[in-house]
């Protein structure tokens, strides 16, 4: 099964992708995570991606697809794949359609107000662990439970950048939802609920 998970920044795409991956035994690919790993590298591409991410913008379609292609070639996709947060534009959706047949597009619907609250409360560690200071805080304030290093807030999680990211989403990514809806592939899920309830709803709908 090949799935796409869509939603606003902070809608919980990554969390659900990992849970679905474990449940169905298929790999999950997070475009956002791939880009964050590249941006940490002291390379021309890394610096370019960092600049785009810090501004809350989206990568050019061809660059994003080339990066995704490289990752997918290294995966065993016999059972399928879960694409977390990709495609983000109509051009990306159409290009992806030429590369593989997507079975379902899961859309996590979350109000903007809750998105701003979630992202502004999010903290990350250099080891990759992610926390939410409201719903999933570390045991010690701003200190990672896993490795003991101080947490940080990503620049694209600053309130002003969050609003800009939501603006870009509404302009460029929201039409992707309509793209999959017209193809009768869209599964709309209320993403404002408890994580387990969202997960159970997704599994039920993808199995129907």
Distance CA 93, CA 13 (A): 17
Distance, in Å, from the CA atom of 112 to the CA atom of 155, rounded to the nearest integer, reads: 19
Inside any domain, residue 146? no
Q: What is the pTM of this model?
A: 0.79
Residue 98 domain flag: yes
Residues 170-184 pLDDT 10s? 888 889 999 999 999
- Is residue 154 annotated as part of the catalytic site, yes or no? yes
Share of the chain above pLDDT 70, in %: 100
Asked if 13 and 177 count as a contact pair (C-beta separation under 8 A), the reply is no
How many independent structural domains does the chain possess? 1
Inside any domain, residue 121: no
Residue 8 domain boundaries: 2-110+172-207
Which segment of 52-66, 88-102, 191-205 scores lowest on mean pLDDT?
A: 52-66
Active site residue 146: no
Check residue 7 and give its pLDDT: 94
CATH number at residue 196: 3.40.50.300
Q: Is residue 151 part of a domain?
A: no
Asked if the structure places residue 8 within a domain, the reply is yes
Q: Is residue 50 one of the residues assigned to a domain?
A: yes
Residue 13 is among the residues annotated as catalytic for this protein: yes
122 is catalytic: yes
pLDDT higher than threshold 90 for residue 64: no
**Is 161 inside a domain boundary?**
no
Task: Provide Rg for the chain, Cα atoms.
Answer: 17
């Amino acid at each position: 099964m090949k799935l796409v998970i869509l939603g606003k920044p902070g809608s919980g795409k990554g969390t659900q992708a990992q849970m679905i991956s474990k449940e169905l035994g298929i790999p999950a690919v997070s475009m956002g995570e791939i880009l964050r790993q590249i941006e940490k590298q002291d390379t021309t591409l890394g610096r370019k991606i960092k600049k785009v991410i810090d501004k809350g913008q989206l990568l050019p379609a061809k660059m994003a697809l080339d990066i995704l292609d490289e990752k997918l070639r290294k995966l065993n996709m016999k059972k399928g794949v879960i694409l977390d947060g990709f495609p983000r534009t109509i051009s990306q959706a159409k290009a992806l359609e030429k590369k593989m047949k997507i079975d379902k597009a899961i859309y996590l619907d979350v109000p903007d107000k809750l998105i701003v609250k979630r992202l502004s409360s999010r903290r990350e560690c250099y080891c990759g662990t992610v926390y939410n200071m409201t719903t999933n805080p570390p045991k010690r304030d701003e200190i990672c439970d896993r490795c003991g290093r101080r947490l940080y807030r990503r620049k694209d999680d600053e309130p002003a950048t969050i609003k800009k990211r939501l603006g870009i989403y509404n302009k460029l990514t929201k039409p992707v939802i309509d793209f999959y809806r017209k193809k009768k592939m869209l599964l709309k899920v209320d993403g404002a609920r408890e994580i387990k309830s969202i997960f159970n709803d997704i599994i039920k709908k993808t199995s129907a």
